[in-house]
Structure 1
Amino acid sequence: MKKGFIALAVVVIVLVGFVVFIQNVNLNRIGAEQYYVQINQDGKRIEDKSDSGQKYVSYEYTLEGFDSNGKEKSLTFTASKELRQDAYLRVYVKGNDVSSYQEVQPSELPGQAKQKLDGAGK
């Protein structure tokens, strides 16, 4: 009886841990290449309607991104709001499509990418 209770408790703990892990993981980032960009231009405003007729606005950005080795790639992606000027982003790329992004601090940029981004702005 005691062994059964311990086994059940272990299974419950593992399941709870798995659920918490899945909720905190952005599946769009798994298996994606990482590039770094700096927002140095305004996004192109795009107005559209959903199937239900509701209007929405997004902003399209086309920027040069650099991976941790300094390899350059042109990246196009949309955001639901205008992004902050001069912000650095880590952009997740699967194939040729941007699947996700997040703002990062300058100290989080890999050396080669930071060097290229600092040189690109001049």
Structure 2
Amino acid sequence: MKKFIFILFGVVLFVAAIVVLLTVDFNRAGKDNVYIQVDEPASTEEDKLDTGEIATTYWYEQPAYTEDGDEIEVTFSAQKDLRQGAYLMLYVDDDNEVSSYDEVSEEELPAAVEEAL
């Protein structure tokens, strides 16, 4: 009986680990949020893929604002030319490195950020 309970516990633990790995976005977990209004890219970089296609990376360097309205400088890349004037919520770590972003509406901006932008 103890062997059965031990195996059942192991299976439940394994399934729980798989569910966590499939549902948690580690690029966003535990990150701080800052906000920007997209400007023109600072630079672009083109790479030729093995298939012969050209992949363009757009680099953005601009000020971002914390929820309190404090300004920080961020540099991040995107695989497409982002819509100028769009508002983005960036996910940054302690070194202000951007790991992901989401587009947000103006109504979703914190009041201090809206005032700073």
Identify whether the pair has TM-score above 0.5, normalized to the shorter chain: yes
| Deviation by residue 1:60-92 (Cα, 9 ceiling, x = unmatched) | 011110010011101110000000111000001
Change (3 A) 1:61 1:17: same
Between the two proteins, what is the percent identity of the paired residues?
A: 38
Alpha-carbon shift at residue 18 of structure 1 (Å): 6.7
TM-score normalised by length of structure 1: 0.73
1:32 aligned partner, one-letter code:
K
TM-score normalised by length of structure 2: 0.75
- Which residue in the other structure is 2:100 paired with? 100
- Which residue in the other structure is 1:60 paired with? 59
Equivalences for 1:44-59 in 2 at 5 Å? 44-49=43-48, 52=50, 55-59=54-58
Rounded to whole Å, the distance in 1 between the matches of 2:103 and 2:37 is: 9
The runs of at least 4 aligned residues of structure 1 exceeding 4 Å deviation read 12-22
Rounded to whole Å, the distance in 1 between the matches of 2:46 and 2:58 is: 9
Alpha-carbon shift at residue 25 of structure 1 (Å): 3.0
Unaligned runs of 5+ in 2: 1-10
Alpha-carbon shift at residue 13 of structure 1 (Å): 9.1
Rounded to whole Å, the distance in 1 between the matches of 2:103 and 2:13 is: 32
Equivalences for 1:14-93 in 2 at 5 Å? 19=18, 22-39=21-38, 41-43=39-41, 44-49=43-48, 52=50, 55-93=54-92
Rounded to whole Å, the distance in 1 between the matches of 2:99 and 2:76 is: 8
Equivalent pairs, count: 114
Q: CA RMSD in A?
A: 2.6
Alpha-carbon shift at residue 114 of structure 1 (Å): 1.1
Alpha-carbon shift at residue 30 of structure 1 (Å): 1.0
Change (3 A) 1:64 1:14: same
